[in-house]
Structure 1
Amino acid sequence: MEQGSRQELPPPAPFYRSIFSEIEEVGWEHLVRSEEDLSSLSFRILDKNGRAHILEIALPRNYPESAPSIAADVPYICDIEWSKSSKLKNIVQQFREHLQKLQEFWSIMEDIDRNLWILDPKQPSLATSYRQICLGNDCSLLLNVYARNAWSLPECRFFGPDSTVNLLRNNWRKNSRKWTKDKHFHENLAILLETTLPRPHTVSNKNDEQVDCGICYAQYLPVDDEFGDNSGSAPDYTCENLSCSRAFHTVCLRDWLRSITTTRQSFDVLFGNCPYCSEPVAVKVSVLKGYLFMNRQNRISLVTLRTQKPFILFFFPITAFKSMNEFKQSRGGLQTSQQHTIRTTIRF
């Protein structure tokens, strides 16, 4: 048999007993996943501020003679000190010490997310060290925070109109020496840029800049009787997932949900998922009451009770039906109030 085709034998029984013993030292309650041959172990570790981290440890075939490798949701991995007498608990302890060094970095990133309008990323991980921040006036700032020295002046790149960007860049250079650990990160940014930075965006905040609907990509609905009270309105629904917070027109979101086969309806509420983050969303189904009538061109229209103006719902020759009774049956048994007028309720 060829050397390359030989299957590796499983580790001997003492190997498993040794690993089980080392897991016991770390704590079985921290183990969240393991391979059948114990070649990979994942532990859930909490830092001092309650953030949960998954530490993945890959064990080599000749463990513990060779050091294991690790991976985790951190901006950079620590160097593991290892000897033949080292155990899993030593790795976990070194990882905890590494997490302690990163507390300042994560506190700064949380300060940025809490106080500034973040354009990207929408759902940052604990390993993400950059943020793109809205500055207003069609400008944004891409920041890269140095995880090893989080309070140092961050790397930055400006985006927007040249005239505004040049002014912001000059302010940054002129005021860079004012950067200090005595102030919050977002306060330092405002001082350096000599401007007021937009707060985190929500549709309900009237002082925020308007944003486009995540479905129709327009700020305002058309001014049209078709939209009733929503005519010309701005996005009025926001995804409740704080990492998403995408804005929508309720009308657009309702139509989008109806196009998805997984959408459920209970009474007058549609239940589905956000188009961007897949978190649950729910919108009411509006009810529009009016009259269907046959015009001179033998076509069916709807006159709403609210505006008394015709809103064309569908078109087809009335002669396509042998009688009004047949038409009523085709529309679900609508009740006739006059010979050529049908009163109904249309759901949108």
Structure 2
Amino acid sequence: MGEDLTYLSFRVIDKKGRAHILEITLDTNYPKCPPSISADVPHIFNLDWSGNSKLKDAVVQFEHHVDKLQDFWSTLDDIDRSLWVVDPKDPHFAMSYRQINIGNDCYITLSVNASDPRSLPQCRFLGSDANVNLLRRKWKINCKRWVKDRSFSENLTSILDIELPQPPEVRKDDRQTECGVCYAQYLPIDDELGSKSGSATDYTCENNNCSRAFHSVCLRDWLRSITTTRRSFDVLFGNCPYCSNPVAVKIINKK
């Protein structure tokens, strides 16, 4: 909340455990005039507002908007996991494009439709003129092969008639060493942490396009705060806070 009480932010957790921030700026004539809203989404919703509306109504409408975008973000997560994405390096929720290395020094930039993410995307090819012209012809001729129920990887392979290169392995030395939850490399020296006191990050997201490091203690506590987290015996199952890849953390008693 801003010091002048005209700016507020709300944190919303979606069904996949992704964290979204809704920023609200109040008009000088609030509540007669609707507040301004912004968020890291591909398109903002039209706020339904009346003289009797409250800030809670704006948050609820944002939650509904986020629910409608679940398939869009899941589709992009699948692209990030299965294809060699070269751009963006650090994707945000508002981004709807992915530039993919398809081999032979060629790239394809896909623009995913947020309203219909599994549909045939708009695309642009990058590379030598000869290769790009060939790829464009294949796309034009074979685009009818696109099937919504297939993954993007399967559809691209079918349309372009090529074997797509696998994402490169991320070297351990290149991975994030700071915890994605507490933003520190080492846990504090604290008797409450037991054997984990002062320890470095010990859990890494298995998604090569993410590879975010965590302290298992921090990730465990974060998963416990998410309503979609499942528990089986002494293991918590949920999703990475950054890429939504499945994660599992064992609950260890303090010693």
Tell me the TM-score normalised to structure 1 length.
0.49
Q: 1:191 corresponds to which residue?
A: 158
Runs of 4+ more than 6 Å apart: none
Aligned to 1:175: 142
Q: Specify the SS of the correspondent of 1:198.
A: coil
Shift of 1:152: 2.0
Shift of 1:40: 0.5
| Inter-partner Cα distance in structure 1 for 2:153 and 2:45 | 28
1:239 aligned partner: 174
Partner of 2:72, secondary structure, is: helix
Q: Tell me the distance in 2 between the aligned counterparts of 1:138 and 1:165.
A: 10
> Structure 1 residues 156, 98: closer, same or farther in 2, change over 3 A?
same
- The percent of aligned pairs where both chains have the same amino acid is 53
2: distance between equivalents of 1:186 and 1:63?
48
- Where 1:171 maps in the other structure, the secondary structure is helix
**Residue ranges of structure 2 left out of the alignment (5+ in a row):** 178-211, 214-255
Query: Letter of the aligned partner of 1:183 in structure 2?
Result: R
Question: How many pairs does the alignment contain?
Answer: 179
AA partner of residue 155 (structure 1): Q
Whether 2:78 is the aligned partner of 1:111: answer yes
Contact persistence 1:176–1:192 (CA under 8 A): yes
Can you list the C-alpha shifts for 1:163-214, whole angstroms capped at 9, x where unaligned?
Answer: 222221111111111111121122111111111111211266xxxxxxxxxx
Provide the C-alpha distance between the structure 2 equivalents of 1:143 and 1:171, rounded to a whole number of angstroms. 16
Please name the residue that 1:146 is paired with: 113
Aligned to 2:60: 93
Q: Secondary structure at the match of 2:134?
A: helix
Q: Kindly indicate whether the alpha-carbon contact (under 8 Å) linking 2:24 and 2:38 is maintained by their aligned counterparts in 1.
A: yes
Distance change >3 Å, CA 120–CA 179, structure 1 → 2: same
Is 2:99 the partner of 1:132?
yes
Structure 1 residue identity aligned to 2:92? S
Distance of 1:116 and 1:75 partners within structure 2:
21
Pair 1:164-2:131 in alignment: yes
Q: What does residue 245 of structure 2 align with?
A: none
The 5 Å alignment of 1:145-294 reads 145-202=112-169, 238-241=173-176
CA distance change for structure 1 residues 149 and 187 in 2, over 3 Å: closer, same or farther?
Answer: same
Query: How far apart in 1 are the matches of 2:105 and 2:63?
Result: 42
8 A Cα contact 1:40 1:58, kept in partner: yes
SS in 2 for 1:175: helix
**Is the Cα contact below 8 Å between 2:118 and 2:149 reproduced in 1?**
no
Is contact 2:106–2:132 with CA below 8 Å preserved after alignment? Answer: yes
> Structure 1 stretches of 5 or more lacking a match?
1-33, 205-236, 243-278, 281-348
Higher alpha-carbon Rg: 1
Cα distance change, pair 159–88 in 1 and its aligned pair in 2 (3 A): same
Secondary structure in 1 matching 2:115: helix
Following the alignment from structure 2 to structure 1, what is the Cα–Cα distance between the partners of residues 103 and 150?
Answer: 23
With CA pairs under 8 Å and 6+ residues apart, which has the higher RCO, 1 or 2? 2
Could you tell me which residue of structure 2 aligns to residue 71 of structure 1?
38
Partner of 1:338: none
The code of the aligned residue for 1:156 comes to C
Contact persistence 1:118–1:132 (CA under 8 A): yes
Report the RMSD for the aligned CA atoms in angstroms: 1.8
Q: Any conservation in 2 of the 1:76–1:127 contact (CA below 8 Å)? A: yes
Q: Is the 8 A contact 1:202 1:238 kept in 2?
A: no
TM-score norm. by structure 2 comes to 0.67
Q: Secondary structure at the match of 1:133?
A: strand
- Hey, what's the Cα distance between the residues in 1 that align with 2:111 and 2:149? 20
